Every structure is written in structure tokens, then in C-alpha cells.
Structure 1
Amino acid sequence: MSSRLSVLTDAQWERIEPLMPSSEGRRGRPFNDHRLTVEGIIYRFRVGIPWRDLPRDFGPWQSIWKRHRRFSSDGTWDAILSRLLAEADAAGLVDWEVSVDSTINRAHQHATNLPRATGALPSYKKLFEEPDDHAIGMSRGGLTTKIHHLCDGKMRPLVILIGPGQGGDAPMFAPVLEALRVDRIGPGRARTRPDRALADKAYSSRAIRELLRRRGIQAVIPERSDQVANRKRRGSKGGRPVGLDKEAYKRRNVVERSFNVFKQWRGLATRYDKLALTYRGGAVLRAITIWLKELRDTP
């Protein structure tokens, strides 16, 4: 295969190859070459082309699509990312000053021609079940999808969830924080609590601050101007001003820079996938490639 079509180095592939599913004991045809298929999936999201337009170097496009659909819904991509995060944390690479935000992405017309229910709140705990609205909603930009993202202090992804474009950021804060889990290599509980959480004014609510306080996580979230005015209007009943570490808040831009890295893959910057599962699977695969680069100097 041409080097122009491949992304993964031999060392990177050796790290994740043992984590790929085996065909042993499975009904049906055995899996084709995993590496060739994974490179095909990466190429499709990186370039942003229809599946059927994949170069023949990768093999039948139908097989590549089916494999990505399977790995997105059975938790394979998430399991690989989880292992890489555990290895990174064991090597001291994870910066536990986290930032939370969302980015809105336009859904191409090819992604919006499935019937969908609207108006109901989807369950974000069911990561591997297709939501009724396919995580597509109507916002100012038309039919859109949001990627809700939590990254570490060096803009590497830790949590990736998706929802409809019109969905608010604040209601998704708790599910995003709840999804944060970095396992230990060896004995010990998984780490689920960062040192501090940075977020913009969209996440300024009493419920979010109380959640962080209860879990012993420092909140670095500025107050909205209407909240400040309301507190002052109530006088002593309005409570104390919210403390804000301004120096720490200057570092919140890491999440915006992290989105810029994600959107270098054109298939993520614009959503072409009909299914929320496969679109999120592409975002998780992007996170895998990011952490593989970070781990290149570790055994």
C-alpha cells in the first residue's frame, strides 16, 4: 500500500494489534487484514469521501464500512482508547487539569435522510445504541451535530460524546464528567476525578458547581453577567461571589485547540455518516491516533 494512504507506523500498529478482535470462535467469514481495514477507515474520515469511493488498495469498501460499524457498536474503538489512556496515565502523560466544551458540525444531506424522532432527550449512557434522533438536530446552522468533549491540559482527548446540534452544553456536563474513566495498569481503582475542570460561561450553573464541589474538583468557570446582576440584586441572600482562578482560566483554550486537531479530519469537521454510532466511532478513532503519537516514546 502506498505510504500516501497509510497513517499508522509499524510501532503504533504493534501497540494496538493485540487489542483488535479475533475471528477465532466467530461465525461467518474470518476478518480480513485488520491493519489494512483500519487504515481504510482512517483514510475515509481523514479525507471525507463516500465509503464507496475508497481506493481499491484497501479492499472492498463494503467490508471496511461493516467493520467500522461493528467496531463502533461493540465497543472495540472505546476499549482501545481506554487501554491507551491507561498506558498514558501510567507513564505520567495525562494532565489532570481538564477542559470541557462542545463544537457544532454541519450534517451533510447524505447524513440526514434517515427518519428520526425529535423532541425527546436521548440517553447518553447508552453509548453503543443508536439514538432515535441519530444525534442530529436543527440549530441556526441547519441540521447539525455536536461533539461534547473533555480533554486534558495538553489538549489530548479523554471523553467524546455526541448529541443533536440544538442541545445545550450545560445539561451534558454531568454525562461527560461521568464518562471520564482512566483505568490503572495493575491493581487500583480507575481514576475518574480530575484536579480541576475548566469551562466557559455556558456551564455556569449552580448544579454544575455543586457537582464539582461534591466530588472535590476545583471549578474554573466564570459567572454569566445575568447571574452576577441577580446575585447583587438579592443582596446578602444572593450568596458570595463565585471565585475564579483567572490564571487557570487562560488555559481553557486547550479544548478549542483540541477541536482544531479533530477537524483536520474532514469526515469529522462535516458529518457525512447517517448513524451517530459510526460518526462517534470516527471521532474515537481520531482520539486513538492522537494518543498513539503521544505514546511513541514509551514501551
Structure 2
Amino acid sequence: MNDQRFVVTDAFWKRLEEHLPGKASNAGVTAKDNRLFLEAVFWRVRTGSPWRDLPSGFGKWNSQFRRFRRWAKSGVFERLFNAMSGDPDLEYALIDGTIVQVHQKASGAKGGPQAQAIGRSRGGLTTKIVALVDALGNLMRFMLLPGQAHDMKGVAPLIRGVSFGALLADKAFDANWLLEELDVRGATAVIPPKANRKQQRDYDANAYRWRHLIENYFAKIKEFRGIATRYDKTDCSYAANWNLAATLIASR
């Protein structure tokens, strides 16, 4: 392909190759054209294009789609992102949620929309992504929910097993159970109190100003059209695209 934005460079490939299935050292059949395949899936998450519109230079669209689904189901893209992420800066962590529109063609998967993290909110069919980033604004974890779900549903799974000095979040996350959990951990809650809280509490307003880091990350990853609008029917495939886009961001 001529557009260099979509090419896996030699330096990037050296970092990726050892984390992919089908290496020559692996038992069984060695995967063919892993590098070309990665270029294909990176191209698709950037453009948000249907699989059938995959340029012929990337190979047969149906073959690339089937491999994408296999790798998505087996967690390859998640492992790839984790390998590229490096060690997080956990002086503090930030958590928030964002909503993306679900294309009408993305509905209809087995189990119904709720089972695929698709719900209805003011914008119609939507998916909510709750994410945890580190003190540098780098993604650590994310979780998909139906669009109408409250952000708090993603908190417990995302912070489980993660040690940080403080947690920054907006007032939507002002819940007693979370404040108690952070207190037990010895972590500071940098979360403004809700207006209807009977006993108002203090929080570090200066530290709270850094909450823009997670908003910046959402803006950055939504530059990928396959992220900003969900075209994938299954939550597995859409999560794979998040991991692909996050891998590219982490590699910069």
C-alpha cells in the first residue's frame, strides 16, 4: 500500500512480531503474512470501512476477517496492547466513561444488543466505554457497557488489583462504597461530592485539574473512525479494535 500511515514500519514490526501467533518457533502451522494482516486491521480501525471494502492489496477480505475474528476471540489483540503499553505511572489513576454511536448495521448479533454491550440512550443505539488511565494519561484497562448503563458499573472490575496513590474521577463516581474502598486501600479520592450529598466533603481541587488527561485520551482514540462509531456487531470485535487503536497510540 502506498499510504505510509497504514504501514507497519520495520521498527514497529520488530516490537510486534514476537507477540503474535504463528511464529516459526511455534508448533503447528505457521501463520502466513502476519505483517500484511496487521496492516489490514490497522487500516480498517483507522477508516471504519466495511470488511468488503478492504483494498485488494491487503489480501482477500474474507480471509482477513476470519483471522481477525479468531485472534479477537483468543485475546491476541489484548495481549498485543499489553505488550506495547509498558509500565504504568500509578502515582494516581483516572477513570471516566464515554459513549459512541452504534451503526444500525452493527445490531443483530446472537444474544441481542444488551449481550453485545449495545443499549439505547438519547443518541439512539450506543455503547459506553469506561476506561482507566495512568498518571501520564496512558490507557491501562477499559470495559464495554450498554450505552444507558451507569459509569459506576465499570469501576470495580477496572480498579481490581491495581495499586495507585489516588483516583481522579468526576462527581458521577461519588459513591460511598468507592470512597470506603479507596480509604481501605490507603488511596486518596480526588472526586468532587455530588450536590445532594448530606455531608459535603473536601477534595483536592488542584489535583482534580489533571482529570483532563482521560478526556484527552478519549479524544485521541476517537480519531480512529472504527472507534468513534461502532460498526462491529459483537463486543468481542469492537473491543479488539480498541486494543488495536490503543496499541498504535502506545507505540508512538
Cα distance in 1, alignment partners of residues 156 and 79 from structure 2: 22
Alignment correspondent of 1:208: 178
Matches of residues 278-293 of structure 1 in structure 2 within 5 Å? 278-293=237-252
| Displacement of 1:286 | 1.1
Cα distance in 2, alignment partners of residues 216 and 55 from structure 1: 53
Q: In the TM superposition, what whole-angstrom CA distance separates every residue of 1:71-123 from its partner, at most 9, and x where no partner exists? A: 221121122222233xx32xxx73542110111011001101235347xxxxx
Matches of residues 155-194 of structure 1 in structure 2 within 5 Å? 155-178=137-160, 192-194=162-164
Work out the number of aligned pairs and report it: 250
Tell whether the 8 Å contact from 2:90 to 2:165 is kept in structure 1 after alignment: no
Tell whether the 8 Å contact from 2:8 to 2:38 is kept in structure 1 after alignment: no
Alignment correspondent of 1:79: 79
Q: In the TM superposition, what whole-angstrom CA distance separates every residue of 1:197-255 from its partner, at most 9, and x where no partner exists? A: 1000110000111111122221100001011xx23xxxxxxxxx423011100010111
CA-based RMSD: 1.8
User: Does structure 1 residue 277 correspond to structure 2 residue 236?
Assistant: yes
TM-score between both structures, scaled by the size of structure 1: 0.79
Alignment correspondent of 1:25: 27
Cα distance change, pair 84–50 in 1 and its aligned pair in 2 (3 A): same
| Displacement of 1:67 | 1.8
Bigger radius of gyration: 1
The percentage of counterpart residues that share the same residue type is 36
Cα distance in 2, alignment partners of residues 35 and 196 from structure 1: 40
| Displacement of 1:147 | 1.1
Cα distance change, pair 115–77 in 1 and its aligned pair in 2 (3 A): closer
Unaligned 5+ segments in structure 2 are: none
Which amino acid is 1:226 matched to? N
Cα distance in 2, alignment partners of residues 140 and 26 from structure 1: 50
3-state SS of the aligned residue for 2:6?
A: coil
Alignment correspondent of 1:149: 131
Cα distance in 2, alignment partners of residues 2 and 94 from structure 1: 37
Alignment correspondent of 2:97: 102
Alignment correspondent of 2:196: 226
3-state SS of the aligned residue for 1:49?
A: coil
Cα distance change, pair 98–274 in 1 and its aligned pair in 2 (3 A): same
Which amino acid is 2:181 matched to? L
Following TM superposition, the consecutive aligned residue runs of length 4 or more in structure 1 with deviations greater than 4 angstroms are none
Alignment correspondent of 1:258: 217
Cα distance in 1, alignment partners of residues 126 and 91 from structure 2: 31
Alignment correspondent of 2:120: 138
Cα distance change, pair 260–135 in 1 and its aligned pair in 2 (3 A): same
Tell whether the 8 Å contact from 1:105 to 1:269 is kept in structure 2 after alignment: yes
Tell whether the 8 Å contact from 1:145 to 1:162 is kept in structure 2 after alignment: yes
Unaligned 5+ segments in structure 1 are: 119-131, 181-191, 232-240, 294-299
| Displacement of 1:65 | 1.4
Cα distance in 2, alignment partners of residues 217 and 58 from structure 1: 48
| Displacement of 1:142 | 0.8
Q: In the TM superposition, what whole-angstrom CA distance separates every residue of 1:143-170 from its partner, at most 9, and x where no partner exists? A: 1101111112222111121111011011
3-state SS of the aligned residue for 2:201?
A: coil
Which amino acid is 1:6 matched to? F
